[in-house]
Chain A
């Protein structure tokens, strides 16, 4: 009887240990090793144990439920040969240890001309790490970090380190430290990525001549932070609801000669936050309903702001830390559209206001000296505060736009008109029975 029981326990242990998966893990690495250069490996709907190293040009294509699970000690997939293609995989459980010489990732690429697409990444320190890897294509990937509360204890969605000329497109990144982090990485292209709930949606450090277009950054602590990076092109991006005590849509810090065009900055704490930066061109952007439209520190010079629509921000622009007089608020006779903030006339109908506008404010002093001021930016008291300081001549010039654009007709007071109409209708209707009552009374008296 004892022997039978022991046998049963032995077989149960074998069953619990899931020998199929174990075999699969060895099988995957040995499969990869056994494949010929340029071969295509199709994986089934099951979990393969990592970690794996790809040392030859291969294409690995997964199925709907193909998972490659790391052992939690290192990179789950290391690509050490050029021309590798990975498609339709889920990669999980990378090494999270930060006390090592190397920062781990779900997929670490050390070579050039690889393609990673339709890969889902979870439970890893970095998502995809490009280390001195060039001309790679990283697209349609879905990377999710550990989210709020653990932002600092994890890595970035895409980490681009000394890597040039890569294409990063259509990726969806959520809850990582930085969505895309570029460190000494030049001439990369980032198109159509959606990044939310990160620290900085996009973070450039010492990275020049990169292009990012049509990306959407929502609900990050900072939309995009460009630091010590020059000659970047930012076009058609959306920076939405990057809203918090330190938040911004776009930060330019020691960033020069960047071209910022056709972007939308909506509902951010600060739309643009520019510090120690020079010669940036900010053109044709929509900067709408932010607490501060543009926060410009006086250490920043020679920016050009032209053809921007700067509407309905609590403060359209704040100049902090000095005068910053060398910034231009118009170019080639075309300034910016400030909405209804400044009443303008355009008698010659050329779309340019008949006189220059100057914005005075006293809030910059408070903003500079007391960070709690940010908590009042939604308060209506700000208006009174500004008016009183204006009366006391305590205001300073924030900017002068010599050629403000005249706002095209917008349905701005629609809400007010609608509410007033409703009030009128209800009052008239409400008065009706009373009027009837009076008429009846009059009738009675007549009789």
Chain B
């Protein structure tokens, strides 16, 4: 399946900011009850979807979800992350910092639902032994 999806950059920017807001709220608390608004925006992307250009045709709206790879293992075969390795070890790597999350487009066709990575996560990884 050679489907190539292009999501406008402004939408990816909005999702990256939303991810950051969520992270800050979790860390600093939520005095003004903003979590609800954040969840609502995220749900709108994840459930209602956005119109998107689909080069191969046939899809009118795609749902967008982001995934926080924090703590996940990293290997050279992972292509959904752009990683920098901190420390000296290069084996048994795990994600220790997330600069941008992984964003996936979820689409539906006759065979069912499938997803495509539309933004690689940008992360720093480190050998578990050094963590």
A and B assemble together = no
Name A's B-contacting residues (CB within 8 A).
none
Task: List B residues at the A interface (Cβ < 8 Å).
Answer: none
